[in-house]
Structures are given as C-alpha cells and as structure tokens.
Amino acid sequence: MAQAQREMAAAAAVEAVDVVIIGAGVSGLYQLYKMRELGLNARILEAGGGVGGTWYWNRYPGARFDSESYSYAYSFSEELLQEWNWTEHYSGQPENERYLNFMADKFKLKPHIHFNARLKSAVYDEGANRWDLETETGEHLRTQFLISAVGILSATHMPKIAGIERFKGKSFHTSRWPHEPVDFAGKRVGIIGSGATAVQLIPEIAKNVGHLTVFQRTANYCCPLRNAKIDDETQAKIKADYPEIFRRCHSTFAAFMQEFDPRKTFDLSREERYAFYEEIWAQPGFTKWFGCFHDIMIDSAANEDYAEFVRNKIRARIKDPVLAEKLVPKDHPFGAKRIPMETNYYEVYNQDNVLLVDVRADPIEQITEKGVKTGQAEYEFDILIYATGFDAITGELTRIDIRGVGGESLKARWADGPRTYLTLQTAGFPNFFIVNGAVFCNFTRCAEVVAEWVSGCIGYLRDQNLQRIEATPEAEEAWTEHAESLTEGMIFTKTDSWFMGTNVDGKKRTFLFYAGGAPAFREKCAEVAAQGYAGFRLS
C-alpha cells in the first residue's frame, strides 16, 4: 500500500469524539452519564470486560463494602435509589457489581463503553487542541477532553520477592482473582499480606481449606464489621431515609455516616471513656474509627488510650497468648493505616489448620517452585495468593504514557509526588481532568461532586465558546502547598502505608489524599467555579 493510502486508512480508523473517560468504575460511569446529559459524544475506555472498576476486578471471596451500602450508593437519581434493593448493610462484591451493571443499563451507558480497551498512551496535540489516544489493542481515538476515572486502588502491587515466576502451583493477586470459582478444599494455601483485603479473604478460605498459612508483616487493628441482612421493613426505611442519609454524609469530615465525637479523650474519666469505647465497639461499620473521639487522629496519648482498648479486644479472641501478641499491632497508632473491617477474622487463628508466619521475625527470602522460603523454613503450597495491595492513587495513571504540552510526561512530572490544582488538573495538561478520587472521602460521595464539577466546567466552556482549560502553575503550586500543610500533625504521616505511598519502592513519601475534609473540598470547588474557574487559564 502506498504511504498516502496507509495514512488515509489509519486516519479513517481514528474515532473522533468530544470526551474520553478512562475507566468504567463508580466515577467513570457517572461521569459518562453527566457528559451524555450535556449532549456530548463521549466514550469510556475500560480495561476490563465489564463495568464496575474496583467491583469488577476485586472478586475474591469475602470482598464487600466496608461503608454502608446505601451510603455508597449514587444519590443523583431518585428512581435508581428506589428501584435498587440492597440485601445487606455491607453488601458483597457480586451484588456491588450487579448494582453498577444495573445503573449502567438503566441509563443506557454500555453502548458508549469500549471494553477490554486498556489505554496505552494519550498525547496532547497543541496545534489542534486535541488528545490522541491509543489503546493496547491498537484502537485510536481523538478527543477534546480527556477524563481519568481510573480509581485510587487499581494498579496492583506485586512485592519484589525473588522467584515469583518460579512457583508451579496456582497463584494470583487478589485484584486479579479468576472469574471461575477457586476450590480450596483439601488444598495447601499460602497468602502474603494482612491488610483490608486479606482480612476479608482469610475467613472465607479458612472455612474449607486443607491448610492455610498467612504471611504477616504488620499486624493491623482489625475491627468487627457487624454486617447484617436488610429485611423488608429496614429496606423501606432506608428508601424513605435517603435524603437524611446523604445529608448526614454531606455534613461529616470524610462523607461517611459516622462523625468523630467532638469531646477530648482525657476530658472524660477512664470509666467514662471505656463505657464510650464499648458503645462504639458494639456498633456496625466504621463507627469504631470515625465515631471515636476526634483527638485520636491528632493526639498520640489519646490515640494510645483507644489503641490499647482495641488491642485487648483482639487478645480476648485468640486462645494462644503468644500468637495473640503477634496479631496485636504495637508499631503504629490506631487509624494511621486504613482500619480493616472483619468478620470472624481472629477466630481463624484458633483453627489447627491455620498458621501465622511473622515475616518481620522470619523474612521471606524467595518464592520457590513449591512455595515460600523464609530464613527458617520452606512452606509448600498448591495455591499462593498475593494480597499485597496497590500502587495507590497515582499508580494506574502513571502506568499510561500521558504527554501534555511540549510532550511532557505526566509520570516524569509527578516523579517527586503528584502535583494538582484541586486534585482535578495538573498544569501543562490542558483539557485533562483527573476524577480518580484523591480526596479522603467515602468514594461515591466525592465521585459525584467531582463528576458534577467537571460537567459544569465543560458546560461553561461550551456556553462561553471557550475551547481549552488548564490549571495555572501558580494555582497548582498554591494548592499543593496547602494540601501538604494540612497533613501536619496528622497521625497518617506517622507510619508507612499506601496512604503515604511507602508500600511501593522508590515512590515519594507523601500523603496522597487531600486531607482538608469533604466539606472544605466541596466548598473550594464551588467557589472556584463561581469565580469563573479561578486558578485556571481559559481560552
């Protein structure tokens, strides 16, 4: 074929649209709905074979919401709220995936989603003010606006342990769980990790396993979820109460239903404090964290008082006191890392066929053909599971080759930590919005806020006959400094975790969320929009 013909054929294969959204999870689906509401020609590029994002990929047994199903629901459609019945207060992955499919079908979103289309590169063409996109399967799209909705916990993190590829049994990362059921009966199973994912998965495996070995590096403050089915009467009450549920979420720091208690820990006597701790302990969900005294998040002594209460709750559930001490966290404050929510987790360690290996005392040296070799022993497995977490918040985005003005790479630009204005844009990347969820916030609550903000912004540009919007370097600088200053004194910064990026080798140590709280974030976004998008250059 002649060169000109080849170019024509290639050009013909480029799909030109107004908006491309990366990811068909909670944020991406609503963003698509909002773009279609504006009458724009919008597409989602989705790496998976279905919608759901987190709830598509994390299909391991036991995966479920840790926040109340109804506080995580979309609030924008009264019809959707009334038509959908949650069956549990903290519903499981299959139901959550069905819910997101229900939403996508109800609003006829799927015809606008390209599945199995992982974005490989996005290059800004300044002359044309368009983004040129290529997927790993060779699809080409050209768009005026590019919106990243890739989520915060999407890029899997595999540990750097020698020999991972050598293992001859079945092995997988929890967020790449097989679609067909995994049979644990009679099998020797190993699991590396003891974070929120492992804590949901372990009790499910332990129900029907030959032998289970858990490799724990850091013990966590796991708290009882206290899940329950929703009966008809409660269902009707939830549906009637939705305005109040969302009003409440709207008023709290992290947009969960729980709010920190404004009293100071040591203003109460020991007896009063312990009565309060028992009271919140008996409640379901995050009340044991976000319903505690507010100063546990800033005052080390207050934190330690509650932490010791939680440690004793853990100790009481494990028969062997030596084992109990291994499961009790002593190296970080309560709530400095994400609190895992559990159902029958600690009881698992009372089973004869479950072994805990403390890999701080006996580090993993390598993965062998048969299993895991530590300094002191080799453990043989049929199935080896990596519950080793994610390259959070920035990981998925920086794995895509995104190039802004002058060919600048986003990955290089963020090498020293992410820099944004309002978490929504980064200077030098015009018409590129980031709605990943980088605010410390109940996910759907803030996903709706940003999707509505972006749709308002694009609508404004269209009405004003403007073509391009980009954060100014000054606004970005000021916001980044402001965001960093908010974390001063917060207990999050006092330990290593994915919140701080420290679980990934070479990643800059910085608190990756906006820590000013959901109300302040919403207020700031609204203020910027009301000022004609102050801090952005519009042209």
Would you tell me which residues interact with ligand NAP (CB under 6 A)? 64-66, 153, 159, 161, 192-198, 200, 215, 217-218, 338, 359, 364, 387-390, 498, 503
Contact 163, 367 (CB under 8 A): yes
**Beta strand residue intervals within 273-346, DSSP E:** 341-342
For ligand NAP, give the closer residue by CB, 66 or 448. Answer: 66
In sequence order, the β-bridge partners of residue 261 are: 293
In whole angstroms, how close is the CB of 121 to ligand NAP at the nearest point? 27
Query: What DSSP line would sit under 482-507, residue for residue?
Result: HHHHHTTT-GGGGS-SGGGTTTSTT-
In sequence order, the β-bridge partners of residue 434 are: 148
Contact 317, 339 (CB under 8 A): no
For ligand NAP, give the closer residue by CB, 375 or 532. Answer: 375
* SS3 of residue 290 by DSSP: helix
In whole angstroms, how close is the CB of 65 to ligand NAP at the nearest point? 5
In whole angstroms, how close is the CB of 72 to ligand NAP at the nearest point? 9
For ligand NAP, give the closer residue by CB, 31 or 497. Answer: 497
Residue 76's CB is within 10 A of a number of other CB atoms, namely: 17
Contact 168, 311 (CB under 8 A): no
For ligand NAP, give the closer residue by CB, 43 or 64. Answer: 64
In whole angstroms, how close is the CB of 497 to ligand NAP at the nearest point? 7
Distance, CA of 177 to CA of 47 (rounded, Å)? 15
Pairing of strands 223-224, 341-342: parallel
In whole angstroms, how close is the CB of 178 to ligand NAP at the nearest point? 17
State the first-to-last Cα distance of the chain, in angstroms, to the nearest integer. Answer: 41
For ligand NAP, give the closer residue by CB, 193 or 428. Answer: 193
In sequence order, the β-bridge partners of residue 44 are: 21, 113
In sequence order, the β-bridge partners of residue 189 are: 212, 383
For ligand NAP, give the closer residue by CB, 194 or 420. Answer: 194
In whole angstroms, how close is the CB of 499 to ligand NAP at the nearest point? 8
Q: How far is CA 436 from the centre of its chain?
A: 9
Distance, CA of 294 to CA of 66 (rounded, Å)? 20
Tokens of 117: 């289309």
For ligand NAP, give the closer residue by CB, 65 or 70. Answer: 65
For ligand NAP, give the closer residue by CB, 146 or 339. Answer: 339
Neighbour-count burial of 267, counting CB atoms closer than 10 A to its CB (0-12 exposed, 13-18 middle, 19+ buried): exposed
Contact 409, 401 (CB under 8 A): yes
Would you put residue 402 in left (φ > 0), alpha (ψ -120 to 50) or beta? beta
In whole angstroms, how close is the CB of 69 to ligand NAP at the nearest point? 11
In whole angstroms, how close is the CB of 420 to ligand NAP at the nearest point? 20
Tokens of 487: 């974390």
In whole angstroms, how close is the CB of 175 to ligand NAP at the nearest point? 7
In whole angstroms, how close is the CB of 199 to ligand NAP at the nearest point? 7
* SS3 of residue 378 by DSSP: strand
Angle at 167 between CA 162 and CA 170, to 5 degrees: 135
Neighbour-count burial of 339, counting CB atoms closer than 10 A to its CB (0-12 exposed, 13-18 middle, 19+ buried): buried
For ligand NAP, give the closer residue by CB, 195 or 430. Answer: 195
Cβ burial 492-509 (10 Å sphere, 16+ → b, else e): bbebebbbbbebbeebee
In whole angstroms, how close is the CB of 223 to ligand NAP at the nearest point? 13
For ligand NAP, give the closer residue by CB, 359 or 451. Answer: 359
For ligand NAP, give the closer residue by CB, 379 or 390. Answer: 390
Distance, CA of 99 to CA of 54 (rounded, Å)? 13
For ligand NAP, give the closer residue by CB, 296 or 364. Answer: 364
In whole angstroms, how close is the CB of 481 to ligand NAP at the nearest point? 26
